[in-house]
């Protein structure tokens, strides 16, 4: 089995690469290391790695043509909402134009592939207060990041319907786990909390902690993606989440018990544009046969033990 992962040196992509290598796949990674790190790739000797941007079209075309990939995972992205607000044009190029360019090349050149997966985001649902969010819920993208994720998400669907390309999208909710970089203030909240617990630093909590999220451990995300590319038969969209709604305050309480440390909290005003409640309807994913293996407590324990 030959697999291409763009963004394979990033948080989610590197876990996926590791899992596929363990299953005996021949893995090729394209990553420009703008956010990813070489040290994230656990099996460097067993993968083919190219330090390239997905916007290097000449390179991508050559790779797609000679690669003979069974499965393609498009995970490379400008992954931060805040970054996308600072760099809307670059975000557009990386997060949607590069996807369209590859899809169009695959179509024009009649490249055979079993399934192409694109990593969309829960961000497409925006701040709609109605929960849980199903794949058919209202779409209200509020940032360049969300707009481009939705654009590529729809191109994937259109290339499936119009040109019969075997596409599929996943909309990630709040993914957490080892290797998530805590360096930016816009990193996932659990990587920031972990860092604060390890270093005894003050955690800045935006709001009162009653905001809710649907957290899913990265190993579950990887299993879900592999199941989706292997089992889905239509160009559809899957929410990838746990289906559990937890407040930030609850999560902190559970984590403090596991770490046996107290988090020092600095309460600040809510972040502009922060979503109050977020939880996914995951029935479509469950109908495919996926069952989450990681409760929040188990995932946090594994995360804590990895640092």
Contacts to ligand UD1 by CB under 6 A: 81, 121-123, 174, 185, 187-189, 192, 204-206, 211, 213, 248, 271, 274-275, 278
Q: Collapsing DSSP states into helix, strand and coil, what is residue 88? A: helix
Residues 6+ apart with CB under 8 A from 190: 174, 176, 180, 215, 251, 255, 300, 303
115 vs 171 by CB, closer to ligand UD1: 171
Give the closest residue to 229 by CA, choosing from 117, 109, 132, 145. 117
Nearest residue by C-beta to ligand UD1? 123
The nearest distance, CB 201 to ligand UD1, in angstroms, is: 11
The nearest distance, CB 282 to ligand UD1, in angstroms, is: 15
Residues 6+ apart with CB under 8 A from 233: none
The nearest distance, CB 199 to ligand UD1, in angstroms, is: 14
Give me the phi and psi of 236, to 5 degrees please.
-115, -170
1 vs 268 by CB, closer to ligand UD1: 268
Beta bridge partners of residue 267, listed in sequence order: 205
189 vs 285 by CB, closer to ligand UD1: 189
267 vs 283 by CB, closer to ligand UD1: 267
The nearest distance, CB 210 to ligand UD1, in angstroms, is: 10
Q: Cα 158 from chain centroid? A: 21
Calculate helix-pair angle for 248-259, 296-306, nearest 10 degrees. 50
Q: Quote helix, strand, coil % in the chain, to nearest 5.
A: 45, 20, 40
The nearest distance, CB 157 to ligand UD1, in angstroms, is: 20
What does the alpha-carbon distance between residue 222 and residue 13 come to, in Å, rounded to a whole number?
Answer: 9
What does the alpha-carbon distance between residue 248 and residue 208 come to, in Å, rounded to a whole number?
Answer: 9
The nearest distance, CB 240 to ligand UD1, in angstroms, is: 12
61 vs 85 by CB, closer to ligand UD1: 85
133 vs 223 by CB, closer to ligand UD1: 133
What does the alpha-carbon distance between residue 262 and residue 193 come to, in Å, rounded to a whole number?
Answer: 11
The nearest distance, CB 207 to ligand UD1, in angstroms, is: 6
Structure tokens at 79: 């992954």
36 vs 160 by CB, closer to ligand UD1: 36
Give me the phi and psi of 130, to 5 degrees please.
-75, 120
């Amino acid at each position: 089995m030959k697999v291409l992962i763009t963004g394979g040196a990033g948080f989610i992509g590197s876990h996926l690469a590791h899992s596929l290598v363990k299953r005996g796949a021949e893995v090729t990674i394209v990553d420009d290391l703008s956010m990813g790190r070489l040290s994230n790739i656990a099996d460097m000797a067993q993968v083919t790695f190219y330090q390239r941007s997905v916007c290097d079209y000449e390179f991508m075309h050559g790779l797609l043509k000679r690669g003979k990939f069974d499965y393609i995972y498009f995970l490379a992205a400008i992954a931060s909402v805040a970054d996308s607000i600072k760099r809307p044009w670059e975000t557009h190029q990386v997060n949607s134009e590069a996807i369209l360019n590859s899809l169009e090349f695959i179509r024009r050149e009649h490249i055979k592939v079993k399934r192409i997966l694109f990593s969309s985001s829960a961000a497409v649902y925006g701040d709609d207060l109605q929960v849980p969010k199903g794949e058919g819920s209202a779409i209200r993208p509020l940032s360049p990041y969300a707009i481009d994720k939705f654009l590529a998400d729809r191109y994937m669907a259109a290339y499936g319907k119009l040109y019969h390309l075997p596409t599929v999208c996943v909309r990630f909710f709040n993914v957490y786990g080892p290797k998530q970089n805590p360096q930016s203030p816009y990193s996932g909240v659990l990587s920031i909390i972990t860092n604060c617990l390890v270093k005894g630093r003050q955690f800045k909590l935006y709001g009162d902690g009653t905001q809710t999220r649907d957290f899913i451990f990265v190993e579950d995300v990887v299993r879900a993606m592999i199941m989706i590319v292997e089992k889905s038969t239509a160009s559809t969209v899957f929410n990838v989440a746990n289906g559990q709604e937890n407040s930030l305050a609850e999560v902190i309480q559970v984590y403090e018990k596991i770490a046996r440390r107290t988090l020092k909290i600095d309460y600040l005003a809510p972040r502009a544009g922060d979503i109050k409640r977020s939880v996914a309807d995951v029935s479509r994913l469950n109908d495919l046969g996926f069952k989450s293996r990681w409760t929040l407590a188990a995932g946090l324990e594994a995360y804590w033990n990895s640092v």
